[in-house]
Structure 1
Amino acid sequence: MNAKILPTAAATRKGILILMLGVALFSTMDAVAKGLLQSYPTAQVVWARFIGQAVLVLVILGPKRIGPTLRTPYPWLHMARSGFQLATTALFFLSLGYIGLAEATALADTSPLLITLGAALFLGEKLGPRRIAGVVVAMIGALIIIRPGAGLFSPAALLPLACAFCYAISALLTRLVGQKEGPATSMLHAALFGAVATSIAVIFVWHPIALADLPRFVALGCLGTAAQFCLIRAFSMAEASAIAPFSYLGIVYATLFGIAFYGEYPDFWAVIGALVIAGSGLYVWHRETIKR
């Protein structure tokens, strides 16, 4: 039986930085999507995100590399991963029509706990006390921000919670496939799956796109593509349970974007929660970058 090869401290540190960049890009994409959802159907905004990724990946690869990149000995894993990724985006975008950007992000960011537990149960990753502490403390920070007793938990809150579940499965599959193949294969499969599925759905709800909104639709696809690449790279080079807590930074980004673009100012407890999340992330990062 072969021993499991653990990522080095340098690889874990790099994975954390790449994930942080990916979370920032995803948060920017979500802020752009929230504005578009005020004028366009959810299915059309989700379609723009995946059709943009499909076009960009195909252009970057070029005609000669598309066929070899698509070939994989793990087609069902890619299909499952792509399906859960599409569900993650669709559920989160749908939730933005009912609740605020920061609140939706806070609920969706319960996913690191699911990722950490799933990585221990299904990928054989070590679930040490420091990783557990980082996840739990970050979740406490998230709860401080959303304050369940304040009335946030409504039927609409189930959408980002379902999004968290789908994201966790997608992340675990990304880690599993990423150890076997390069990121281009995962990017292309996810892009084509999402583009085909949403192109069928958008036929029934299409709304003409205003010329002034075209840059935002293009930005949506570009941001989603760059963010997805970062996600694949991060989960391919570091253990899922080690980098998962840094997904909580999305709450901080979402709060800042809420202020900048939608006039949603956080209250005192939201600031405290954000500090708790940042502190837990820095603690895990410090511990994970110490040489084994």
Structure 2
Amino acid sequence: MSTPQNTRFGIFLMIAACAIFSVQDAISRHLGAAVNSYMVTMIRYWVFAAFVIALAARAPGGLKAATRSRHPWLQILRGLLLVGEIWVMIYAYVKLGLIETHAVFIVYPLLVTILSGPVLGEKVGWRRWLAVLTGFIGVMVILQPGSGVFSLWAMFPFLAAAMFALYSLLTRYVSRDDSAEVSFFWTGTVGALAITPFGLANWQSMVPMDMALMAALCGTSILSHWMLIRAYDLAEASEIQPFAYFQLPMVAILGLVLFGEALRINVLIGAVIVVGAGLFTLWRQRIRAQQAKLS
């Protein structure tokens, strides 16, 4: 069990990681328009792959141990899902902007609830199904289908949310037999191999400022993911996961200030509904975990 002091520091790290993620999203939005989403994703993954390979080489057993998985095909699928999700999100930032992309993407915890049954065999009670239904009503408020405002580009962040939800569940599934180090290695290397042909085919020269932003994006990616991993080490997931929603207002501020995006009232109302439904599912998961400990 984590101490209260560790929990507080874990919450701090989660909020700090979300702040960095928000800045990364803003940089990705700029670079995706200035260069292209394939190339931005590829360079990020080159740095990511180099990082995980270096970590694996220094770990006990070296690279051979890092490649030894009980679920190699699922690890490959995880890697493809994550790199695809990152590319789709960058593309959505360019087409929709930061605010509306994240307003739809925050539905992913509810998609995790839906998929937890077929993927992990978990039982989902009627309360969480009601929360899922409420969350999707919020998404409909955001998208406004049939109003003339709806854009097919809005399906991109929804697709990214579905990919990330499945990636998260598969990560939990393979963790039953594979260590976190093994999963980390496969995620980085598979993603880099998958995106490289597309990135090279769409290679463009960058101006010095964009090169500096690309370097900042890659460097902060390592820092933010370290903060996230450390946060989960210091505190229970149920304690800190709700604070991940802090990324939404942070991204909204950057979208408004840096890119002149508009915060439409239906997006604000829908996002509040989705976040409320997501927080309820997290609360129910915490209650179920506490009941399981007592039984």
- Give TM-score scaled by structure 1 length: 0.77
Contact 2:102 / 2:248 at 8 angstroms: preserved in 1? yes
Give the number of the structure whose residues are more often helix, by fraction. 2
Indicate whether 1:105 and 2:118 are aligned: no
**Which deviates further from its counterpart, 199-208 or 33-42?**
199-208
Change (3 A) 1:289 1:194: closer
Contact 2:242 / 2:279 at 8 angstroms: preserved in 1? no
Change (3 A) 1:226 1:130: farther
Q: Distance in 2 between matches of 1:23 and 1:114?
A: 21
Q: 1:133 deviation in Å?
A: 3.5
Contact 2:106 / 2:274 at 8 angstroms: preserved in 1? no
Q: Which residue of 1 aligns with 2:41?
A: 46
**Which deviates further from its counterpart, 273-282 or 25-34?**
273-282
Q: 1:203 deviation in Å?
A: 2.0
Change (3 A) 1:37 1:213: same
Work out which of the residue numbers 191, 203, 208 in structure 1 matches 2:205. Answer: 208
Indicate whether 1:36 and 2:47 are aligned: no
Q: 1:188 deviation in Å?
A: 1.5
Q: 1:90 deviation in Å?
A: 1.6
Q: Which residue of 1 aligns with 2:157?
A: 160
Q: Which residue of 2 aligns with 1:70?
A: 67
Q: 1:81 deviation in Å?
A: 0.7
Q: 1:118 deviation in Å?
A: 1.1
Letter of the structure 2 residue corresponding to residue 58 of structure 1: I
Q: 1:175 deviation in Å?
A: 1.3
Please list every run of 5 or more consecutive structure 1 residues that lacks an aligned counterpart in the other structure: 1-9
Letter of the structure 1 residue corresponding to residue 206 of structure 2: I
Change (3 A) 1:276 1:158: closer
Letter of the structure 2 residue corresponding to residue 86 of structure 1: V
Aligned partner of residue 127 in structure 1, secondary structure: coil
Letter of the structure 2 residue corresponding to residue 36 of structure 1: L
Q: Distance in 2 between matches of 1:126 and 1:184?
A: 29
Change (3 A) 1:260 1:184: farther
Contact 2:139 / 2:271 at 8 angstroms: preserved in 1? yes
Q: 1:34 deviation in Å?
A: 0.3
Work out which of the residue numbers 114, 117, 134 in structure 2 matches 1:120. Answer: 117
RMSD: 3.7
Contact 1:51 / 1:221 at 8 angstroms: preserved in 2? no
Q: Distance in 1 between matches of 2:20 and 2:139?
A: 20
Residues 175-229 of structure 1, C-alpha deviations (whole Å, 9 max, x = no match): 1112333322222111111222222222222112222223321232344445666
Q: 1:108 deviation in Å?
A: 3.2
Q: Which residue of 2 aligns with 1:148?
A: 145
Q: Distance in 1 between matches of 2:170 and 2:231?
A: 13
**Which deviates further from its counterpart, 56-65 or 30-39?**
56-65
Letter of the structure 2 residue corresponding to residue 202 of structure 1: G
Q: Which residue of 2 aligns with 1:59?
A: 54
Residues 76-109 of structure 1, C-alpha deviations (whole Å, 9 max, x = no match): 1110110111111122222233222222223333
